[in-house]
Amino acid sequence: MTGRGPILFVAAVAVAWAQCGMEQARRADSLLMRHDLAGAEAIAANCDSKAPFKVILGEIAFRRGKVEEAERQFRDVTSLEPRDPRAWFRLGQVSEYTFNRKTAQDCFRRAHELAPAAAPLVLHWAMTLDGADASAALETYLGMEKNEDARGIQWARAQIEIQRVLGDRKPFGLVSSYGRSQIRLEPVFRDREMYGYRVPVSINGGEAAKLLLDTGAGGIIINANLAARLHVKRLASTTVSGLGDQGAGRGWVGLADRVRVGTVEFRDAVVTVSERPVLGSEQGLMGTDIFEPFLVTLDLPNGVMRLEPFPGAADGRPSDRGFQSDPEMERIYRIGHMLMVPTTVSGSEPAMFVIDTGCSQTLIGKEFATELARMRSAASIPLGGISGRIEDVDAADDLKFKFGGFSVHCQDTLSINLKRKDDDLGMEVAGFLGFPMLKLFSITLDYRNGLVKFECPTAVDRKKH
């Protein structure tokens, strides 16, 4: 797994409901595990006053991107049946996705106490710990029987090795003063069309690598040749994956003593190294989540990234505060390193779209798009991600996207199959707001409280050709 976000284990809690003696609950749960949301909902809706069915309804709501409804269901279950570990675990995940860190920690701890033999609960509980306590819990996780989650095992081994090397130090510790900074972005063109920005990043004091600014990436991802030249220390094996038909590729987790971006410098930077090319000729990617201690503004029309310190935060560490109402900002959701914003498309119900400056096109899932527009093949258009080329590409005609208080018309929106991504995340991702759309906006990201603000200096209800 890449980045520093949570690892997601969709439908992975091995807490059977056999003790409930409810055949209907088991049937509904079985349908849910097979991704038959409508079938599971038809059963659970008739018994929605009982705790097991409310958990199922909560999971269905979450997978459809209705996070507040899911949270309400899970909270109801923790009141009705406070010894249900699955409800506590799911409430912890929802709290994590909504930036309520302390609540998530308490929920994962409670779930682990109720089901200490469930490997996913041990892992999530370990992720809330620090230092030696985290390493001990991860060792427990690795020693558990019937733990067949290869990604979780790989991630845990990497974290143990990082902990062994760093001791009590946290990755990406801020070395420079915690103050205001402005970083000039370098435009990237293909066939005379700007498709992104690169950021000069100094790693271990070496040559300035030019990394693609990618709000959809986690941390820093570079290719193996660059890692060798910049003396990144290898720590543990990992896999690197993203959009594309080739699936996960081999890589490793490394450690850079120093990383500098503009005037901002970090020590002990964890870097993901890919053994296959990163988006063709790119040296690598830089996720904006490394600037989590700051209020981050991506002024894309003017090619500038601004970092502002939070008032009263001397060390810049995120607080445990959750969402706080701000009339100029709206809530976003975070799954792993991905930030998602509710978006309506041509009059649809709100659906989750990833804010992704590293995506060269705005993308919409095929299943979602076929309900909204006429489709045609676009297989001749080259499209790919960190996991290689995408072959099965369609295009949707004349869609209108509404998010952040703005509307943007797109005459041609590329459509791909996102089912694998949905399965990985446990939520139906409707699409990706890519650079051609996002470049219209100045985007402010608040990683402390889970907020975003879009500002547009030009006409916003416009056609994109």
Helices then strands, counting H and E runs in the chain, come out as: 13, 26
Mean pLDDT of 396-409: 92
> Is the per-residue pLDDT at 358 higher than 80?
yes
Whether residues 155 and 34 share a domain: the answer is yes
Same domain, 195 and 335: no
Q: Is residue 237 part of a domain?
A: yes
Spatial CB neighbours of 294, under 8 Å, sequence gap ≥ 6: 181, 264, 307, 308, 309, 310, 316
The reply to whether 429 and 406 lie within a common domain is yes
Q: Which of 372, 206, 131, 179 is nearest to 291 (CA)?
A: 179
Establish how many alpha carbons lie within 13 A of residue 36's alpha carbon, considering only the half-sphere containing its beta carbon. Answer: 11
The pLDDT of residue 398 is above 60: yes
Residue 161 and residue 178 in one domain: no
Domain stop point among 241, 272, 306: 306
Rounded to an integer, the average pLDDT of 92-110 is 93
* Domain annotation covers residue 66: yes
Residue 28 lies in a domain: yes
Of 162, 283, 171, residue with least CA distance to 228: 283
**321 or 142, which is more confident:** 142
Best CA proximity match to 144, nearest among 158, 133, 156: 156
Task: Output the pLDDT for position 17.
Answer: 42
Q: Is 402 in contact with 344 (CB distance < 8 Å)?
A: yes
Does residue 63 belong to any structural domain of this protein? Answer: yes
209 in the same domain as 162? no
Model confidence band, residue 266 (pLDDT cutoffs 50, 70, 90): very high
Residue ranges in 193-333 assigned as alpha helix (H): 224-229
Which CATH number covers residue 230?
Answer: 2.40.70.10
Question: In which band, very low, low, confident or very high, does the pLDDT at 37 lie, cut at 50, 70 and 90?
Answer: confident
Each residue of 72-95: pLDDT tens digit?
999 999 999 999 999 999 999 999
Report pTM. 0.88
| Buried/exposed code over 274-299 (b: 16+ C-beta within 10 A; e: otherwise) | beeebbeebbbbbbbbbbbbbbbbbb
Which residues make Cβ contacts (< 8 Å) with residue 326, sequence separation at least 6? 451
**What pLDDT shows up at residue 79?**
93
Instruction: Determine the Cα–Cα distance for residues 363 and 33; give it in Å rounded to an integer.
Output: 27
The tokens describing 211, both together, are: 């990394």
Q: Which of 166, 198, 213 is the last residue of a domain?
A: 166
Rounded CA separation 156/143 (Å)? 11
Structural domain boundaries, residue 229: 174-306
Q: Residue 46 corresponds to which tokens in the numbers above?
A: 């008739």
Strand partners, 83: none
Tell whether the model's pLDDT for residue 6 goes beyond 70: no
76 and 141 in a single domain? The answer is yes
The answer to whether residues 205 and 135 belong to one domain is no
**Same domain assignment for residues 207 and 291:** yes
Question: Are the CB atoms for 232 and 209 separated by under 8 Å?
Answer: no
- How far CA 297 is from CA of 288, 291, 301, 316, in Å, comes to 10, 10, 12, 16
Least confident of 86-90, 173-177, 313-317, 410-414: 313-317
Q: Are residues 43 and 115 in the same domain?
A: yes
Type of residue found at 262? G
Q: What is the structure's pLDDT at 392? A: 87
* 417, two tokens: 């199959």
User: End of a domain among 122, 146, 166?
Assistant: 166
Is the pLDDT assigned to residue 223 strictly greater than 50? yes
CATH number at residue 53: 1.25.40.10
133/43 same-domain check: yes
For residue 270, pLDDT beyond 50: yes
What integer is the mean pLDDT of 5-17?
37
The reply to whether 384 and 457 lie within a common domain is yes
The mean of the pLDDT values for the chain is: 86
Q: What percentage of the chain has pLDDT greater than the value 70?
A: 89
Once rounded to an integer, what is the mean pLDDT over residues 416-445? 87
**pLDDT-derived band at 322, boundaries 50, 70, 90:** very low
Confirm whether 248 is domain-assigned: yes
CA distances from 336 to 139, 256, 324 (A): 22, 22, 21
Give the pLDDT score at 23: 78
Query: Taking residues 238-256, what's their average pLDDT?
Result: 87
Residues 6+ apart with CB under 8 A from 376: 394, 395, 397
Q: In this predicted model, what pLDDT tens digit does every residue of 290-317 receive, in sequence order?
A: 999 999 999 999 999 999 998 876 655 5
Q: Please give the tally of structural domains in the chain.
A: 3
Task: Assess whether 88 and 33 both reside in one domain.
Answer: yes
- Is the pLDDT score of 464 beyond 60? no
Position 73 scores a pLDDT of 93
- Give kind and range of the element (H or E) at residue 210: strand 208-213
Residue 200 has pLDDT above 70, yes or no: yes
